[in-house]
Amino acid sequence: MWMDPLTELPGPDDFELTLAREELRRSRTDERIAVVVLDLDGFKAVNERAGAAAGTDLLVDCAAALRQSLRAVDQFARTGPDEFSALLVATDARRAGAWADRFETVLEERSRARPGGPASCAIGISDTAECPTLIDALARARRRMELVQRVRRLRREP
C-alpha cells in the first residue's frame, strides 16, 4: 500500500482497490455502504496567500479530522490534490450526512488557528441503496460534491 507522505493516508489507487474489495464483500452480505467525497474549499488560495507550508498544514488537518471522526471499520484516502474519499461501512446516506456535519465541525476546530482561518469543504454523499455498485455511488457522490462547489461559486459571483 502506498501512503501519501503528507497526510499518511492511502492514495487514489489504494482507494480503488478498497472499493473493489468492499464491492465483493458487499455482494455477499448486501450491507449498505455510504460513499463520501470531500474537496477542501480554497486550497489553491491558501497556497497562494500563505504559502505551501500552510497548504500542507491544511491537508494534515483534514487527514487528522478524518482519523478523529471516522470509525476503525471505515476506509478513507487522499484521492486528489485537495480531495479525500471515504467508505462508511454499514451506513446509509442519512447517517453519512450526520457524520459529515460532525466532520466539518472537527475540521473547523482543528484548523481554526492556521493561516487563512478555519477550513471548510464541499461534501458529496451517496450510498448503495441509491446505486447498484460502489463505483456508481462514488461517481454520484463526486457529482454531488461538484454541485455543492458550483452553487458556492454562483453565490460568490456578483
Tell me the pLDDT tens digit for each residue of 47-61: 888 888 888 989 999
Half-sphere exposure of 32 (CA within 13 A, CB side): 12
The Cα 75–Cα 69 span in angstroms is 12
Q: What is the mean pLDDT of residues 38-45?
A: 90
CATH 3.30.70.270 correct for 12-156:
yes
pLDDT bin (cut points 50, 70, 90) of residue 149 is: very high
Whole-angstrom distance, CA of residue 136 vs CA of residue 132: 7
Contact in structure between 120 and 145 (CB atoms under 8 Å):
no
Total-model pTM: 0.92
What type of residue sits at position 147?
A: L
pLDDT of residue 147: 97
What tens digit of pLDDT does each residue of 73-89 get? 999 999 999 999 999 99
Lowest mean pLDDT among 21-30, 32-41, 134-143: 21-30
> For the chain, what percent of residues have pLDDT higher than 70?
97
Stretch 23-48: mean pLDDT: 91
pLDDT of residue 46: 85
- In the 3-class helix/strand/coil scheme, how is the chain assigned residue by residue? CCECCCCCCECHHHHHHHHHHHHHHHHHHCCCEEEEEEEECCHHHHHHHHCHHHHHHHHHHHHHHHHHHCCCCCEEEEEECCEEEEEEECCCHHHHHHHHHHHHHHHHHHHCCCCCCCCCEEEEEEECCCCCCHHHHHHHHHHHHHHHHHHHHHHHCC
**Model confidence at 2: pLDDT above 80:** no
Greatest Cα-to-Cα distance within the chain, rounded to the nearest angstrom: 51
Residue 133, pLDDT score: 94
Q: Which residue has the cell 484516502?
A: 77
Query: What integer best gives the mean pLDDT of the chain?
Result: 92
Report the C-alpha gap between 89 and 56 in whole angstroms. Answer: 29
> Could you read off the pLDDT of 134-146 as tens digits, one per residue?
999 999 999 999 9
Q: Where are the domains of the chain?
A: 12-156
Please identify every residue annotated as catalytic.
82
